[in-house]
Structure 1
Amino acid sequence: MRFFVRITRLAEAISLALPICLVMVEFNQPELPILNRDNIGVMVKLVPRCMPRMPIVVATTHLLYNPKRTDVRLAQIQVFLAELDRFAYYNNGKESGHLPIIMTGDLNSTPNSAVIKLLDKGHVSASKFRDSSDWQRIGVTDNCQHLSVYLDRLQGKTTEFSTTQIYNSEYRPAASEGQSPPALREGHRELFNGNLIGHSLNLVSAYKKYKPDAQCEASTFQDSWVTVDYIYFSCCASLKLLERLRLPTASECEVLDCLPNDVYASDHLALAALFELRPLISSL
């Protein structure tokens, strides 16, 4: 049996499947100066009603809007990917890896930005975006992974949120509670605050960002018509992109004048994609 998922928003995905776990990711981290904004992310683990043994993770986020603060957006996506890496991982004793992932969001980042390069290539130079923030204080490594996750996986174990060091108001009333022992935080310094940020989720974009004639796609107007909205998905045999809603080019958007307007109520054009989920995992 195959399961078809049309993703336009998180609520629609939930209507097609049973949610078994939901996590809110807070980008306001008291222990890290660069993460002082109240943007958030949401991720949910869903079990399709017709395929109860084939979970999928759907995640969405809205990164900071400030064209001059790529450093903040890069820090926010680093935390988001770390939680996505932890949340989507499974180990049932027979198999281990990441569940299929669909990640959407208004990333407020153009295709040539550091945030999108990180998602597309799996790594990006972060040297010019670093400040005095010490990522060891929240235990998120340069590979967009919790330190506790990294250590647990060396032993073949999964990781609960309670063993991570990031702050979440729903689970942890104070940033200092639940953190790993000082001896653990002092170790593994080589995993933090480097000049290169990477991740290992193997994501691909549902949109090409540029048309065959090299014209750029556009999803909103920010001084000019640009793309800042994205749908990413796992590059794996169990998840296949079937079709997507076409985005117009920047030149085609000129007839719209500005958004929102009397015809179109949103300041962003819609993205939508249809996926096929195939049952490849034997049991979880």
Structure 2
Amino acid sequence: MHYPTITEEVVLANADALPAFPKTVRRILETVDDPDSSMSVLADVVGRDPAIAGRVLALANTAASVSKRRDKVEDIYAATALVGMQQVRDVALVCSLSKFVREMEGQRGQSAVWCHSVGVGVCAQELAVHTHHPVSSSHALIAGLLHDIGQFWLMSFLPDIYPGFWKESIRAGVEITRLEKTAFGASHAQIGDWLTRAWQLPWEICDAIRWHHRPEGATSMTPLIALVHVAEVLSNALELGGAESSKVGYLSPRASEALGITWSDGVHTLFGRIEARSRYVNDFFNQ
């Protein structure tokens, strides 16, 4: 069967067919990278999107009920103060990107690939804390959520062809990037890199997406590249996207070494936290 050759030019030429990348994500990143950014600035960004604001208020009122607070939280600034800036950023990022991916898929509901992406984002955040690496929590989450964005592009660009590649990868036990490069000349990781650079995301995030399957290919093994790679493998091992779509792949010794991970008894607590948070986030955004 003849497959189309996919280059950066092809990807960017067809980018107009995709939904617009959410401005909220860039604004959230600006609050992360600006040391002078305040709670009021973040609350203003969140308040401009009714869907995100509603999620943040729902989260704040859940927290308020747990702490037996009587007054209902109806103000975004008060909600941000109650649950914290990082948690508000996380809600805003997942909400924005979840909507974006659903629009790319052209269908309602969450696919197994997106559930897996949420798992990788959560896992990357938790690994950063566990290994004490000074990586932005928001950068870890976004890189995890978008690490397979190239697959969503392929599903959008080749809806009748690409799903078969997943099935063949699992059936034959072959890494999907190898099948993609053989057929199209480019892998979903490369496509994700091209897209995220076009969307002007930070280079650290783009690099982590580009090298999440084969981190040794990167010029430099940055902490974020190592985190997203290990998070991807670990999420598959924990079946965070469902057993049918989870295939444990190659774990780079260099990435594990760069993070200083020791697979001792202490990691079981980490695994439990990752599974619980991943399940909670997916359930929260499926309500």
In the superposition, the TM-score normalised over structure 2's length comes to 0.28
In the superposition, the TM-score normalised over structure 1's length comes to 0.28
Q: Which has the higher strand share?
A: 1
Q: Which has the higher helix share?
A: 2
